């Protein structure tokens, strides 16, 4: 296939002083299965929109093939229409039979094409859109985080489907998905853009080696930098000392000196200062080069947590619990029995719609009511619970909701409303690599990944007996995921988590409860 050439690309939003891209150049092959990796807010989605021609920029992007973008836009009025009616709008010229073939590869019933979009689950919409996306010929496809909000089964289907395809850029923070589906990576680093063959794991292994080498070289150069700075200061001292000898002298000790010596000393000093200035410039350049060794080293900064230990060992317990929506014909789940003890990290696993979030809401309601008794036939709004749900008395919970739509206002207001120290809050956000320029914006203007980091930072600053996190990693970059893994391993808080990132669950879970 063709090549895509990016030459001297620069772009910044009108509302921002800092450029997103500055004099960036690289070349891609449009037949690659390319993984696009970078911190939140570094411009991954912006770059995809530049390829689609949505923004003006300086420099050039040349590509001989058409680009198409996932996910397709769905407006409110589109929810009453079917995918069959919308596919021509999404991808002009697409043929229905090709979409049917793609749906078969995704193990999806073609009947979904003829149902109103409002009746489809998030996973079903994702699969239908992917089928339309790949139903064209010779397009270069831009796929932006296709597995967010998908359960494990749907993720596996999407993973196996994309592994058989080629000719796309995949933006994802899911290490398992990237390893399975890509053969090249495009990485936005701190000061550069890196293109390599291989998947995420091979790139990360190479990066760890490169970072270790840069750190070792930096240690050697620190001594040399110190020596250069010392020499520079000594040269300045010599010139100053020589200049000071122009004025005043002892005629007894310096009997061979006259007033005419002053001009000679001045000329000599001027010559010495000129040499010192050239020497300083050379040394400063050398120092800048050596100090720049760590510009692209990815620092996984240590986060802190203040977990509390409850006086009871058992924090949450369910026995033969069933949950049902009031208007539903049958329960979402039945016969659920499990417990959470101090120091355990319990992961809830199951398909979308199996009741994971509803169970979390029931536990939060139980803790709020501060009941330490069986709730037989208890109701919670639209939910009907049967069986036993026990929560420890005075249980303090820190909760991350999977939904970010409630976030509003600026960071100071958010910190005040959630009872966290504003200065510490900003410090944690910086440790999660939220750029300082974001601090003056309203949270509504943040990317989804940045909004998630606001929720994570808030939770980390709330001392709690139990941390309940509902899909905390959606849209969050892979480096921050590693930070959280390190944090949880070190502090070992009691947690109840819903998260479909396989790598994260495998590393962090002490117990998995499947609904």
Q: Crossing angle, helix 122-133 and helix 152-163, to 10 degrees?
A: 10
Q: pLDDT tens digit string along 434-481?
A: 888 889 899 998 989 999 999 999 999 999 999 999 999 999 999 999
- Mean pLDDT for 120-148 is 92
Given strand 383-391, what is the order of strands in its sheet?
333-341, 314-325, 383-391, 379-380
Residue 142 φ then ψ, to 5°: -110, 110
- Per-residue pLDDT, 495: 97
CA distance 88 to 95: 9
Q: pLDDT tens digit string along 155-164?
A: 999 999 999 9
User: What residues contact residue 153 under an 8 Å CB cut-off, 6+ apart?
Assistant: 351
Answer yes or no: are the C-beta atoms of 3 and 28 closer than 8 Å.
Answer: yes
Under CATH, which number does the domain 3-203 receive? 3.40.50.300
The first and second tokens of residue 388, run together, are 């036993």
The first and second tokens of residue 48, run together, are 């995809």
Cα radius of gyration rounded to whole Å, the chain = 30
- Three-state DSSP at 387 gives strand
CA distance 280 to 60: 39
CATH code 3.40.50.300 for 314-514: yes
- Per-residue pLDDT, 480: 93
Question: Does residue 379 surpass a pLDDT of 70?
Answer: no
CA distance 204 to 367: 42
CA distance 440 to 411: 8
Question: Strand 33-38 to strand 168-171: parallel, antiparallel, or no bridges (unpaired)?
Answer: parallel
Q: pLDDT tens digit string along 345-369?
A: 999 998 888 889 999 999 999 998 7
Q: pLDDT tens digit string along 238-247?
A: 666 665 555 5
Going by pLDDT thresholds of 50, 70 and 90, the confidence category of residue 374 is very low
Q: pLDDT tens digit string along 313-342?
A: 999 999 999 998 887 788 989 999 999 999
Given strand 58-63, what is the order of strands in its sheet?
21-29, 3-11, 58-63
- Per-residue pLDDT, 288: 59
Q: pLDDT tens digit string along 386-409?
A: 999 999 999 999 999 998 989 999
Burial letters 360-384, b for 16+ CB under 10 A, else e: bbbbbbbbeeeeeeebeebebeebb
Answer yes or no: are the C-beta atoms of 393 and 370 closer than 8 Å.
Answer: yes
**What is the distance of C-alpha 30 from the center of its chain?**
25
Q: pLDDT tens digit string along 35-75?
A: 999 988 888 999 999 999 999 999 999 988 999 999 999 99
Question: Does residue 377 surpass a pLDDT of 50?
Answer: no
- Per-residue pLDDT, 70: 95
- Per-residue pLDDT, 258: 55
CA distance 175 to 129: 23
pTM of the model: 0.79
Question: Does residue 421 surpass a pLDDT of 60?
Answer: yes
Domain boundaries, the chain: 3-203, 207-294, 314-514
What average pLDDT does the structure give for the chain? 86
How far CA 213 is from CA of 190, 207, 292, in Å, comes to 17, 10, 13
Burial of 253 (0-12, 13-18, 19+ CB in 10 A): exposed
- Asked whether this chain's domains 3-203 and 314-514 adopt the same fold, the reply is yes
Residue 108 φ then ψ, to 5°: -115, 135
How far CA 3 is from CA of 12, 178, 335, in Å, comes to 25, 22, 56
Most confident of 95-104, 118-127, 267-276, 346-355: 95-104
Q: pLDDT tens digit string along 1-44?
A: 689 999 999 998 876 667 889 899 999 999 999 999 998 888 89
Q: What is the full DSSP assignment across 417-448?
A: HTT--HHHHHHHHHHTT--GGGGGS-GGGS-H
Question: Does residue 371 surpass a pLDDT of 50?
Answer: no
Q: What number of residues does the chain have? A: 515
Going by pLDDT thresholds of 50, 70 and 90, the confidence category of residue 264 is low
């Amino acid at each position: 296939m063709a090549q895509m050439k990016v030459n001297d690309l620069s772009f910044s939003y009108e509302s921002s002083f800092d450029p997103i891209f500055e004099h960036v150049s690289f070349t891609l092959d449009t037949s690659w299965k390319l993984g696009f990796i970078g911190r939140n807010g570094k411009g991954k989605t912006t770059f995809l929109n530049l390829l689609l021609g949505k923004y003006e920029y300086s420099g050039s992007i040349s590509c001989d093939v058409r680009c198409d973008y996932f996910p397709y836009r769905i407006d409110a009025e589109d929810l009453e229409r079917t995918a069959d009616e919308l596919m021509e709008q999404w991808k002009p010229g697409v043929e229905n039979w090709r979409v049917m073939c793609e749906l078969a590869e995704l193990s999806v019933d073609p009947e979904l094409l003829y149902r109103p979009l409002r009746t489809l689950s998030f996973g079903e919409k994702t699969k239908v859109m992917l089928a339309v996306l790949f139903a064209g010929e010779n397009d270069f496809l831009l796929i932006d985080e296709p597995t967010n909000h998908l359960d494990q089964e749907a993720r596996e289907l999407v993973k196996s489907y994309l592994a058989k395809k080629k000719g796309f850029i995949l933006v994802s923070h899911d290490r398992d998905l990237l390893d399975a589906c890509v053969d090249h990576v495009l990485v936005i680093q701190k000061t550069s853009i890196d293109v390599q063959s291989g998947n995420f794991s091979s790139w990360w292994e190479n990066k760890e080696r490169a970072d270790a080498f840069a750190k070792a070289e930096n240690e050697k150069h620190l001594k040399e930098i110190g020596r250069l700075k010392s020499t520079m200061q000594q040269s300045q001292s010599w010139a100053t000392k020589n200049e000071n000898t122009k004025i005043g002298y002892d005629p007894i000790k310096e009997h061979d000196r006259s007033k005419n010596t002053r001009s000679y000393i001045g000329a000599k000093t001027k010559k010495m200062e000129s040499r010192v200035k050239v020497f300083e410039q050379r040394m400063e350049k050398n120092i800048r080069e050596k100090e720049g060794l760590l510009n692209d080293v990815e620092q996984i900064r240590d986060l802190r947590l203040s977990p509390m230990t409850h006086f009871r060992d058992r924090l949450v317990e369910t026995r033969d619990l069933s949950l049902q929506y009031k208007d539903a014909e049958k329960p979402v789940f039945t016969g659920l029995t499990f417990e959470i003890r101090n120091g355990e990290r319990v992961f809830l696993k199951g398909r979308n719609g199996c009741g994971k979030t509803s169970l979390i809401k029931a536990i939060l309601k139980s803790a709020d009511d501060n009941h330490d008794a069986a709730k037989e036939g208890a109701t919670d709004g639209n939910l009907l619970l049967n069986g036993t749900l026990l929560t420890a008395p005075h249980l303090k919970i820190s909760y991350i909701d999977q939904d970010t739509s409630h976030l509003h206002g600026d960071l100071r207001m958010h910190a005040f409303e959630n009872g966290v120290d504003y200065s510490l809050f900003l410090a944690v956000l910086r440790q999660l690599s939220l750029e300082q320029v974001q601090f003056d914006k309203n949270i509504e203007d943040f990317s989804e990944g940045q909004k998630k980091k606001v929720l994570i930072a808030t939770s980390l600053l709330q001392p709690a007996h139990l941390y309940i996190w509902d899909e905390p990693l959606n849209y969050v970059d892979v480096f921050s995921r590693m930070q959280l893994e390190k944090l949880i391993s070190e502090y070992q808080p009691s947690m109840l988590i819903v998260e479909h990132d396989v790598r994260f669950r495998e590393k962090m879970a002490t117990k998995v409860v499947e609904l």
